[in-house]
Amino acid sequence: MKSRTDIRNIAIIAHVDHGKTTLVDQLLKQAGTFRSNEYVEERAMDSNDLERERGITILAKNTAIQYKDTKINILDTPGHADFGGEVERIMRMVDGVLLVVDAYEGCMPQTRFVLKKALEQNLTPIVVVNKIDRDFARPKEVVDEVIDLFIELDASEEQLEFPVIYASAINGTASLNPEKQEENMQPLYDAIIEHIPAPVDNREEPLQFQVALLDYNDYVGRIGIGRVFRGTMKVGQQVALMKLDGSIKQFRVTKIFGFFGLKRQEIQEAMAGDLVAVSGMEDINVGETVCPVDHQEALPVLRIDEPTLQMTFAVNNSPFAGREGKYVTARKIEERLRAQLQTDVSLRVENTDSPDAWIVSGRGELHLSILIENMRREGYELQVSKPEVIVKEIDGVRCEPIERVQIDVPEEYTGAVMESLGARKGELLDMINNGTGQVRLIFNVPARGLIGYTTEFLTLTRGYGIINHSFDSYQPIAPGQVGGRRQGVLVSMETGKATTYGIMQVEDRGTIFVEPGTEIYEGMIVGEHTRENDLTVNITKVKHATNVRSATKDQTTVIKKPRIMTLEESLEYLNDDEYCEVTPQSIRLRKKILDKNERERLAKKKKYAEMNK
């Protein structure tokens, strides 16, 4: 069969922070995609504020570079398992992958996760050992690790014959030899042209275009991004959209955009092998096929990863509701959640008995916390409950998601880590000590056991440990309590401002979460108790002035630094009877029932019900 030698479609896959996005930057720069006077930001592909701040890719991005006579379409994929839905769909759009692996860290859980998806689609791999300039880089061992991983994931013989390129994306150099770097990325471009298969040229046959990603634009509405698998598509053409539910809708292609560098440009036609964005269809969804009206033939539907975690999003009803947010009503929050569904296919939003609350399900804590963070930056105010894992029934057995956890820690902390994960029903699969004082531990742990574990892990390892995890499988539920918070909390009994004097009175009872001057309300969580029960405290107390002078009056009072938690830490910290209140300016933890007497009455009732079971 004829091939289109003028085009190559590749995806870049890697674990978080192994340098995918930096590598794409260099490929764009060196191919002359930017004008000589054009200012290009670092990590140009990460367009969203959150992506820049955290240094992670959240949404898959398309770009294209022209190298000699070939157009190379590159898809930069997220490395985090929470965004696995994006990765899986991209694998259908490309013919090969660049697997980027850190020359020091080697294969990590997400490397395994994204590679498994690529091999399942029979894609041709090229391995890029990046950060070759790092101290302690160990390229030869890393290549051996990659070969082991390929074998473990049942790679075919052709896939095992992968070429290896040694690169330093930050310096813009690459080579075929780990000892010596060429001065540019040419060896990588050449490997892509030589090893990645060119798309089949069947432009004369009837059209088949499948949507893999969605975008939204206020001017043209919904945009479907995908690949033309067969035939030709032209602007103004009347086509049929084969919907997922089996129905068929006709529409006219109003615009086609091709990718050139980081920009989208309008083009008049696209043919087999092209990756393009198409507008004109109002309700197009991922996995749907566009074909001619007189030749309706759908492509296989794309499988989308099911959500594994859910939490309740509700309208903020705290005493401070509506003070800081611009959008606070149920209608506005629901509109925003529904809008998110337009582009995020791994998300689910369900109504509850209450018109002010929705159950939102996603791929993991990061997936949901990024949605919440984006909402608060846009001016929304809401409260969310503790994340819970989604239990599935498989062959009549209740099953829960299990995560594969990889931990790298200094040797002296291994005992403490193994004990803490053992208490969370973790099962040790492997322990590798490579003689450098660092130990790698691999566990299978129920996902519910990992909620709230990160903070405990960092404390146990004094911040020296690295933990990564990705979804492994659904397995029957382990009996008994797994994970959860051990300590009780300090709950405010008054509404007012926290004072230094008030904080000093309760400091010895636990860790404080607020600074003096912070406005607080009754029922708000202001700290962690040293014991397992909750304690109601008053940190708004003011010291009354008396006429008596103290001999030690001149000594200034110093309080301990409060523990200020990020959004992720706050979500992990929650218990079943608590909410996290999120506004554009504040993140507050609170009890669902603010009144102390009411809380105590309910607790007694619950205890009584349990005794009578």
pLDDT band at 36 (very low <50, low <70, confident <90, very high): very low
- Both 255 and 404 in one domain: the answer is no
CATH for 581: 2.40.50.250
pLDDT at 215 over 70: yes
- Both 471 and 507 in one domain: the answer is no
- Within a domain: residue 580? yes
For residue 247, what are the domain limits? 208-292
- Within a domain: residue 569? yes
Report the length, in residues, of the chain.
Answer: 613
Nearest to 164 by CA among 131, 115, 127: 127
Sheet strand arrangement including 489-492: 510-512, 525-529, 489-492, 535-537
Domain boundary, last residue among 242, 271, 292: 292
> Taking the chain, what is the end-to-end CA distance rounded to the nearest angstrom?
71
CA distances from 588 to 88, 265, 567, 584 (A): 36, 45, 9, 11
pLDDT of residue 536: 92
- Both 445 and 541 in one domain: the answer is no
Q: Which residues contact 56 (CB under 8 A, 6 or more apart)?
A: 16, 17, 46, 78, 79, 80
- Both 143 and 212 in one domain: the answer is no
- Both 149 and 44 in one domain: the answer is yes
- Both 144 and 221 in one domain: the answer is no
- Within a domain: residue 590? yes
pLDDT 10s digits, 470-494: 778 888 987 777 766 778 899 999 9
pLDDT at 113 over 80: no
pLDDT 10s digits, 42-73: 434 444 444 344 444 334 457 888 888 888 88
Give yes or no for a contact between 231 and 202, defined as CB atoms under 8 angstroms apart.
yes
- Both 126 and 221 in one domain: the answer is no
Return the top range by mean pLDDT from 154-163, 350-359, 479-488: 350-359
pLDDT band at 332 (very low <50, low <70, confident <90, very high): very high
Whether this prediction's pTM lies above 0.85 is answered by no
- What is the average pLDDT value for the chain, to the nearest integer? 81
pLDDT band at 37 (very low <50, low <70, confident <90, very high): very low
pLDDT 10s digits, 218-238: 677 778 888 888 888 888 888
Q: Which residues are annotated as a binding site for GTP?
A: 17-22, 130-133
- Both 18 and 129 in one domain: the answer is yes
49: left (phi over 0), alpha (psi -120 to 50) or beta: alpha
The owner of tokens 């190379």 is 72
Measured CA to CA, the distance from residue 130 to residue 122 in angstroms comes to: 24
- Both 15 and 98 in one domain: the answer is yes
User: Which H or E run includes 417?
Assistant: helix 414-423
pLDDT of residue 317: 93
Instruction: For residues 438-461, give the mean pLDDT.
Output: 84
Up-side HSE of residue 308: CA atoms within 13 Å toward CB? 27
Domain boundary, last residue among 272, 292, 312: 292
Measured CA to CA, the distance from residue 604 to residue 599 in angstroms comes to: 9
CA distances from 601 to 227, 285, 305, 548 (A): 60, 49, 43, 43
- Paired sense of beta strands 96-102 and 124-130, if any: parallel
Percent of the chain clearing pLDDT 90 (strictly above): 15
The residue type found at 445 is V
pLDDT of residue 190: 87
| Domain count along the chain | 4
pLDDT of residue 85: 59
pLDDT of residue 18: 64
pLDDT band at 329 (very low <50, low <70, confident <90, very high): very high
Q: Which residues are annotated as a binding site?
A: 17-22, 130-133
